[in-house]
Amino acid sequence: MMVWKEIPGFFGYLVNELGEVKTKNGKVVKPYIDKHGYLCIRRTVYIKLHKAVMNAFSPENNALPVIRHLDGNQLNPKLNNLVRGTHKENSSDSMIHGTKPIGSKQKQAKLTELQVIEIKERAATKTETNKQISKDYPVGYTTINRIIRGEDWAHITIPAQPERRVFIPEPRRR
């Protein structure tokens, strides 16, 4: 038998462990996907479905600020997929699940992975200053410095360049 509980702050609305919502009259409420990709319901107040499920079935553990999706799918509001945690844990989860945009997948990225490889290779030759390199890309030399130090674009690596050995012939003996 499915257990239905009232959603705190949503008088007259019930939610079950699967994330389904209905009114006290039994009318099913159809959720929609908001601009951030979460299932939500909106009546008098907007609420994300995963928050409704956790607040109804696990209200005692409100000390942790974030509700994490164990499978990384924010469209899965089932209780067995949700757990409370910290922002750091949630960020770590997004790296594990591959849902955190990195590199050129970020909206504000000005460089591509190929450009970053090119920058790192040019810097490795040590024939140009970072300021000279930055003139060829839509970023400043501070960003070039951060890329070279591995503070930005740390997930992009280039193979170690072998040291160039200069052959100096020995003087001929007579």
List, for residues 81-99, the tens digit of each pLDDT value: 999 999 999 989 988 888 8
Q: Which two tokens stand for residue 6?
A: 């009232």
Q: Report percent pLDDT > 70 for the chain.
A: 93
The distance in angstroms from the start CA to the end CA of the chain is: 102
Domain segments of the chain: what residues?
A: 4-97, 101-174
Buried b (16+ CB within 10 A) or exposed e, 148-159: beeebbeebeee
Domain 4-97, CATH: 3.90.75.20
**Spatial contact of 147 and 120, defined as CB atoms under 8 Å apart:** yes
| Predicted confidence (pLDDT) per residue in 97-120, tens digit | 888 888 888 888 999 999 999 999
> Is the entire prediction scored with pTM above 0.75?
no
